[in-house]
Structure 1
């Protein structure tokens, strides 16, 4: 090995951590705060929302918002029919539904939703969201409690607490907006254990992934509620 090559390798080893630190600074100070509050006003960021009381102490939270071109009564039906085996999530279907398109219409059979109901999150049904709070045309809060080792959901208070888990809420809050629109504010809040594992995962992967998926959902909901909701045809065809 030449002297020039031997000198270059330590320099490379020093530059790699330096580059990570240089990138981490702007992300923590500028990018991350904007991802966690995308589209939200100062009032929306600072206020409490229904469902926050389920996690009075949380490792992380976010408030993202958008204005949709339809009143709450027209937006609500699209939200209550969400679920892997129902209308989907209106986000990146290739990522959260294995390429199955989310519904492009309101389906009457999926409009009955009750507190405590489970909404399947995966094809095998091993994980799900639970409807934690429900106030028609105003609030829908979904809760997730996931065992990280098995990838299965668990029921707090009934099942043993897993050694590694993540638990939290995904809340949708609707308020009338000017010119007949809806202000849709999406609130997340949760925690995980062991914190040395779940916290870095949340900051580096979970939060950016949620932001990307949530912004996509906003975009797709805007297009859906902007047109007239068509009832599902009996045979499922257009």
Structure 2
């Protein structure tokens, strides 16, 4: 009779998946994540202060991303002020943030008027929105959001009861002219979650990567639009 051999894992082999996962986390935290959060921005832009930063004075997380666009600030501004779900869209991955409806590919005069305090719908149905927090024509547009967790629905901190779990944040667009007639567009985000142990993992593993994917796509699509207008 043949003796059956029982498989016995090598000593330490069960630790290999854990070691690989730990190495991946270290790689993401130390190398990849900082690059995602500062994509395209110079060290000076990352370290700089921007209007709207004071609206989230003690953020849990922040990002500063930038790109150079082949049009002057006033031309770029015309596209940015059209943003909104029920306006020009977000110029990003429309199938993700605009229910598949294409973002605007032209300047629409009736969408050029915008003012502080105005709400811009973020999703279909009006359950989430951005509020125009700061506005400096042709230079600065800061959108603020206050979201319940985990629903992702907006609330008004001036009128609604404060949810037990929520995230306050800003999404700021800062336009500066370049010597060759273009625009340096710097996008700054800052967010603070409450309670932090609940909201921070969500930020790290979902919101930050998602923001990178959506923001870089927006840069690309805005660049395509302003270039076509020249």
| Alignment correspondent of 1:7 | 9
Judging changes above 3 Å, is the alpha-carbon distance between structure 1 residues 141 and 7 closer, same or farther for their aligned structure 2 residues? same
Distance in 2 of aligned mates of 1:137 and 1:180: 14
Deviation at 1:9, TM superposition (A): 11
Deviations along 1:149-206, whole A, 9 cap, x unmatched? 4432111132111111111000000000121100000000011112112111111111
Where do residues 157-168 of structure 1 align in structure 2 (5 Å cutoff)?
A: 157-168=158-169
Aligned equivalents of 2:169, 2:161: Cα separation in 1: 17
Q: Does 1:16 align with 2:6?
A: no
Per the alignment, residue 213 of structure 2 pairs with 212
Inter-partner Cα distance in structure 1 for 2:94 and 2:216: 13
CA distance in 2, matches of 1:11, 1:2: 19
SS at match of 2:9: helix
Deviation (angstroms), 1:52: 0.4
Q: Which residue of 2 aligns with 1:125?
A: 126
Q: How many Å separate the matches in 2 of 1:109 and 1:79?
A: 13
Instruction: Name 2:45's counterpart in structure 1.
Output: 44
Segments of 4+ moved more than 4 angstroms:
none
Residue aligning to 1:139: 140
Which deviations, in whole Å up to 9, do the C-alpha atoms of 1:205-228 show, x marking residues without a partner?
A: 111110111000000000000122
Gaps of 5+ in 2: none
Mapped contact 2:91–2:217 kept (Cα < 8 A)? yes
Kindly indicate whether the alpha-carbon contact (under 8 Å) linking 2:115 and 2:135 is maintained by their aligned counterparts in 1: yes
Structure 1 length-normalised TM:
0.91
List aligned pairs for 1:43-192, cutoff 5 A.
Answer: 43-192=44-193
Distance 2:146 2:140 in 1: 20
Aligned to 1:233: none
CA distance 1:105–1:96, shift in 2 (3 Å):
same
What secondary structure sits across from 1:7 in the alignment?
Answer: coil
Residue of structure 2 equivalent to 1:235:
none
Question: Residues 148 and 154 of structure 2 are in contact (CA less than 8 Å); yes or no, is this contact kept in structure 1?
Answer: yes
2:204 is matched with: 203
SS at match of 2:171: strand
Does the Cα contact within 8 Å between 2:56 and 2:168 map onto a contact in 1? no
Contact 2:67/2:219 (<8 A) preserved: yes
Closer, same or farther: CA 30–148 of 1 in aligned 2, 3 Å = same
